[in-house]
Structure 1
Amino acid sequence: MKKMFAAALAFAALTAMQAPDPAAKAAAPLSLWRLDCGTIDIDDLGVFSDTGLYAGEKKTLAASCYLVQDGDRLLLWDTGLDGALAGKPRDADGSLLKERIVTQLRRIGFDAADVTYVGISHYHYDHTGQVADFPKATLLTGKGDWDVIKVWPAAATPFGHWLKGDGKVEPLEDDKDVFGDGRVTILKMPGHTEGHQALLVRLASGPVLISGDQYHFTKNREVGGVPSFNVDRADTLASHDRFEKLAKNLGAKVIIQHEPDDIAKLPPFPEAAR
């Protein structure tokens, strides 16, 4: 019996050395950076309501992107305005980009090739402008959006690398636990586009809910507004309902990606939230 017990202990010790410890994996560092991916001057906010709100109002919207680090794995969430705009004067459409994402990543010690995943909230130009800078990353996009990207040239242009089959793409039909540890989840939030998505990041300091274009600014969220450029109103309202219940039930910090006032909710770059 003693020999059997000793053998069992030795086997258990060997197994413990060989098998990864789930608890250790879950304890890997989780960090969140807010990246500057441009601004857009809007001369008439009326297009952001299909019920006649905001007509004639002006606002500068932020184009925000986010980097999440889970141990040695990175998720880039959205890629902002076209990198060709970097360092140039504001263009005729009101768009301005100070510097490319890859430049910002270098300042915190990362290269484009280090990015494991690029998650796209939706296919609109101000969220996909620099995606081509990350050809080694697996593309995570809603299946409904991917179906549009494959047939609509205006949406397809930034995604040529993946459309040709040169990169890996996961068209998501439901929520996606990005790193498999339950802390970073892409959320299915259709309506604004066919496969629109939001992002939930469960930091040690508390959960952060990043909107995509579920809302475009604070007043829009306060009334549950729907923009005129929208695919499915009923789906958008249902996604509003889910978004708000998640925010309330999780006690999440909500970041509206286009709302300049929400930039201060996260540490200024190059600092990270943890």
Structure 2
Amino acid sequence: MIGRMAAAAAAFLALGGMQAPPQPQAPGELALWRLDCGEFVIKQYGAFFSDTFQYPPGPKRIVDSCYLIRNGDRYMLWDAGLPGELAGQTVDMPAQTMTLNERIVDQLAPIGVRPEQIEFLGISHYHLDHIGQAADFPNATLVIGKGDVEVLRTQTGDFIQPDRLRPWLDGERRMVEAQSDIDLFHDGRVVMLSMPGHTPNHFALLVRLASGPVLLSGDLYHFTEQVENRGVPPFNHNRADTLASMDRFDRIARNLGARTIIQHEPADVAKLPAFPEAAR
């Protein structure tokens, strides 16, 4: 009897072609490049960045940085910098001067990344210096805060230029209107974090590199002094939301032991390898 059962079991396994279950595929390498997306000189930065008269009058230099993330063979761009037509120029405005050395697409070319390879374009918020070159990435799904989209549909101004995102706003390209944290690749490694206050649905970005997590600030902070003194710019959408988001951002940084990068702070951007090297 036992012999017949063993024979039947062997036949079943042979007929079914039984094999060990496939092992889960190891995740692809995660890499992050810092990109030069412009520079500002704020002429009266005390009045521009603090609603409590915290800072000296100015001027102050800050940078505009964007980031390329590769997750295996998939690409995401975080923020899209100043408008590409400013490349090679310095523009003088009443409150600031703006300079752009090189377009994002021209920076990506030497590392072999084409604009059409960008799958996701994550936008921290709707201000011009974060959406200026978005249209250069025609295949990208735009991921932006729902409340920010509502502003773009109803307002215009020097730093609110809906036409920069027109193909997405008009439904010609795919757009995700995020209201809470969003895991872009569904693997927990690249997560847009809801940090409202600077704008209605402002976001920061968490990138869990093998070398350790990196937190990109968007415009939650603009420079290092804000972290300690909680300076809130007078043009922020909501003061209380800003302070709550600062608290959340700092707690995440502490709990994860993350490297924090204030995207407008030259010293913070310099924590990452100089392009074309990547953090991994």
> How high is the TM-score relative to the length of structure 1?
0.93
Structure 1 residues 85, 14: closer, same or farther in 2, change over 3 A? same
Richer in helix (by share): 1
Which stretches in structure 1 are left out of the alignment for 5+ residues? none
Structure 2: runs of 5 or more not aligned: 1-5
Measured against aligned partners, the alpha-carbon deviations of 1:8-67 in whole angstroms (never above 9, x if no partner) come to: 585553863xxxx54x24x21100000000101111112101100114122111000001
Return the letter of the residue paired with 1:84. E
Which residue of the other structure, out of 245, 261, 278, is the alignment partner of 1:255? 261
3-state SS, counterpart of residue 161 of structure 2: helix
How far apart in 2 are the matches of 1:2 and 1:40?
Answer: 79
Alignment correspondent of 2:101: 98
TM-score using structure 2 length: 0.91
Please state whether the residue corresponding to 2:81 is helix, strand or coil. Answer: coil
Task: Give the aligned residue type for 2:88.
Answer: G
2:57 aligns with 56
Structure-2 separation of matches of 1:219 and 1:48: 11
Indicate how the Cα distance of structure 1 residues 130 and 15 shifts in structure 2: closer, same or farther if over 3 A, else same: same
Shift in Å, 1:96: 0.6
Q: Distance in 1 between matches of 2:121 and 2:41?
A: 26
Aligned to 1:132: 135
Relative to 1, partners in 2 of residues 1:58 and 1:8: Cα closer, same or farther, differing over 3 Å? farther
More off after superposition, 136-145 vs 146-155: 146-155
Matched residue, 2:189:
183
Superimposed CA distance per residue, residues 176-223 of structure 1 (whole angstroms, 9 cap, x where no aligned partner): 111111111000000000010000000000000000001000011121
Question: Structure 2 CA distance, aligned partners of 1:7 and 1:163?
Answer: 58
Change (3 A) 1:8 1:179: farther
- Amino acid paired to 2:115: A
Q: Secondary structure at the match of 1:236?
A: helix
Structure 2 partner of 1:271: 277
Give me the whole-angstrom Cα distance separating, in 2, the residues matched to 1:3 and 1:106. 61
**2:82 paired residue number:** 81
Q: Which residue number corresponds to residue 170 of structure 1?
A: 176
Structure 1 range deviating more: 222-231 or 249-258: 222-231
Show the counterpart of 2:70.
69
Q: Is the 8 A contact 1:44 1:54 kept in 2?
A: no
Among candidates 223, 237, 259, match of residue 243 of structure 2: 237
Q: Which has the larger radius of gyration?
A: 2
Residue 221 of structure 1 is matched in structure 2 by 227
Partner residue, 2:162: 156
Q: Which runs of 4+ in 1 moved over 6 A?
A: none
CA RMSD in angstroms, aligned pairs only: 1.6
